[in-house]
Amino acid sequence: MTSFPKDLIHKFTLTPTPFYYYNMELLDHTLQNLRLESDRYSFEVHYALKANANSHILKHINDFDLGADCVSGNEVTRAVETGFNSEKIVFAGVGKSDEEIKTALANNIHSFNCESMQELEVIDQLAGGMNKIAPVALRLNPNVSANTHKYITTGLEENKFGINQWELESIIEKLNSLHHIRLIGLHFHIGSQITDLSAFKSLCIKINEFQQWFSQRHIAIPHLNVGGGLGIDYHDPDGHSIVDFASYFRLFHEFLVVYPGQKVHFELGRAITAQCGSLISKVLYIKKGVNTHFMILDAGMTELIRPALYQAYHKIENITQGSADIQRYDVVGPICESSDCFGKSILMPLTSRGNLIAIRSTGAYGEVMSSNYNLREKVKAYYSDEF
C-alpha cells in the first residue's frame, strides 16, 4: 500500500505533526543517476535552488559537484555558503535588484542570465563601478509551448521572461557599446513540470536556429544553457521514484547542435528533489458533506501551496491503515481559504481522526514555498539519515 516501512511509520506516530520528511537515500540515488547520465555527454548540471534550499539537502547535492542555478541574491549567498563553486553559479530572474547584482558580481559567478535590454545596461554600470567584467548569457524566448500549467509556462512571447527574437538585433548593437559585459552564452527555460519530452525537442530545434543567427554574425557562443523543467510522476511516486534522466539527456545529445568547444548547461530543480520529500500530516476531523466527506488535516496550503496555486496533483496516502472499505473524500487543510484543498473527491480507505496522512512528491516547491499565513508556525523537517 505504501512505501514507508512499518518502523518508520511508528516513528512518525511519535513525532508532532505536520512535518516534512526527506528520504536522503533516494536523493543520493537520484543524484548518482543524474551524474551518470549527464556525464556521458559532458553536460554541466546546475541545481535550481528555488525547488528546495534546505541546507542539509543542498550539502548532499553539492557532494555530487553540481553547479547552482539561483534566482535571487540570497540564493547566490546560500549557494556560496553551502560550498558550491561560485564559478558554477548562474543567476537568472526577470527582476534582479541592484543589491542582488552586486552580490553576484562580488562572488564572481559563472553568468548572469539577462532578461532585458535595461538589465544589461544596469549590470554594465554596476560592474563598471566595481571594476569588473560581468559574464552574461542572454535569456532568449524560444516561443515554445511546454504543455504544462499556464502559471509554470515561461517560454512563450506573452510571458514576462526572456528577450524576444525581434529584439535581438538591437540587443547586439547595445552589447557592442557596453564595456563591462562579456557575452558568454545563450540561456533558455521554457517552463516546469514538463513530461512531454517533445517540448524539449522543439526547444533544441529553436536553439539551433538561434545559433545560426549568431554564427552568421560571427558572434561566438561558448555556453548554451537549456534551462530545466523536467517533470516527475506525481501519480506514481514509488513506481517512478527517479525520473528518466537517460532519455532526457539523450534527447539533447541527439537534437541539439553543439559547436566545437561549446559547453551545454542544464538547470534542474524538481527532477532532483521532488520525489524524496513527503509532507506528513494527521487527520483532525472527518466531516460529512453533501456529496463527499471532508478529511480535515493539520497541514494546509501554508505547508504545501501547489494544489491551491496550480491545481497540482499530489498522491495522498493513509499510512496508518489500509482498510478495505473505501470512502470518497475531499482532503482539505485548516486554513480559512476554500482553495486550501489537497485533493477533491478522491477514493481512500475508510479514515478516522488521528490517522497519519502522507502527501507525496513534496520535495520540490513544497517546504520552500511555505508561509506563516494565519500566524501558523513553520513546520520542522526531518531527514532519513538523522531521524
Ligand X SMILES: *Cc1c(COP(=O)(O)O)cnc(C)c1O
Cell 553576484 locates to 104
Q: Is there binding between residue 363 and ligand X (CB under 6 A)? A: no
Q: State in angstroms the smallest separation of the CB of 271 from ligand X.
A: 6
Q: Which stretch binds ligand X (CB under 6 A): 28-36, 77-85, 129-137, 227-235?
A: 227-235
Binding pattern to ligand X, positions 309-328, x when CB under 6 A? Answer: --------------------
The one-letter code for the residue type at 164 is N
Measure Cα distances from 320 to 30, 88, 215, 281, 359 in Å. Answer: 28, 44, 61, 11, 13
Cell of 275: 520525489
Interface positions, 182-221, toward ligand X (CB under 6 A) = 189, 192
Residue 235: phi and psi, rounded to 5, are -80, -30
Q: Is there binding between residue 66 and ligand X (CB under 6 A)? A: no
Q: Is there binding between residue 69 and ligand X (CB under 6 A)? A: yes
Q: Is there binding between residue 264 and ligand X (CB under 6 A)? A: no
Asked if residues 91 and 78 have their Cβ atoms less than 8 Å apart, the reply is no
Angle in degrees, 0-180, between the axes of helices 24-39 and 245-255, rounded to the nearest 10? 20
Q: Is there binding between residue 268 and ligand X (CB under 6 A)? A: yes
Q: Is there binding between residue 223 and ligand X (CB under 6 A)? A: no
Q: 162: Cβ–Cβ under 8 A, 6 or more apart, which residues?
A: 115, 139, 140, 141, 154, 155, 188, 189
Q: Is there binding between residue 71 and ligand X (CB under 6 A)? A: yes
Cell of 58: 543542498
Q: Which residue is nearest to ligand X (CB)?
A: 269
Beta bridge partners of 191: 153
Q: State in angstroms the smallest separation of the CB of 78 from ligand X.
A: 15
Q: Is there binding between residue 228 and ligand X (CB under 6 A)? A: yes
The one-letter code for the residue type at 274 is A
Q: Is there binding between residue 75 and ligand X (CB under 6 A)? A: no
Beta bridge partners of 183: 136
Measure Cα distances from 200 to 111, 125, 211, 250, 312 in Å. Answer: 23, 35, 16, 11, 22
Q: State in angstroms the smallest separation of the CB of 364 from ligand X.
A: 6
Asked if residues 312 and 302 have their Cβ atoms less than 8 Å apart, the reply is no
Q: Is there binding between residue 50 and ligand X (CB under 6 A)? A: yes
Q: For residue 167, count CB atoms less than 10 angstroms from its CB and return exposed for 0-12, middle for 13-18, buried for 19 or more.
A: middle
Q: Is there binding between residue 379 and ligand X (CB under 6 A)? A: no
d(CA 105, CA 155): 27
Q: Is there binding between residue 243 and ligand X (CB under 6 A)? A: no
Q: Is there binding between residue 270 and ligand X (CB under 6 A)? A: yes
Interface positions, 85-104, toward ligand X (CB under 6 A) = 92
How many residues in the shown chain lie near ligand X by CB under 6 A? 18
Q: Which of 31, 45, 51, 114 touches ligand X by CB under 6 A?
A: 51
Q: Which stretch binds ligand X (CB under 6 A): 47-55, 115-123, 298-306, 317-325?
A: 47-55
Q: State in angstroms the smallest separation of the CB of 241 from ligand X.
A: 17
Q: Which stretch binds ligand X (CB under 6 A): 45-53, 126-134, 201-209, 330-338?
A: 45-53
Between 243 and 341, CB nearer to ligand X:
243
How many C-beta atoms surround the C-beta of residue 23 within 10 A?
Answer: 22
DSSP string for 133-161: -EEEEEEB-------S-GGGB--STTSSS
Q: Which of 48, 120, 186, 379 touches ligand X by CB under 6 A?
A: 48
Between 88 and 270, CB nearer to ligand X:
270
Q: Are strands 134-139 and 181-187 parallel, antiparallel or unpaired?
A: parallel
Q: Which of 73, 142, 227, 333 touches ligand X by CB under 6 A?
A: 227
Q: Is there binding between residue 269 and ligand X (CB under 6 A)? A: yes
Q: Is there binding between residue 110 and ligand X (CB under 6 A)? A: no
Between 162 and 300, CB nearer to ligand X:
162
How many C-beta atoms surround the C-beta of residue 29 within 10 A?
Answer: 14
Q: Is there binding between residue 115 and ligand X (CB under 6 A)? A: no
The half-sphere exposure of 236 on its side-chain side, counting CA atoms within 13 A, is 4
Binding site for ligand X (CB under 6 A): 48, 50-51, 69, 71, 92, 189, 192, 227-230, 267-271, 364
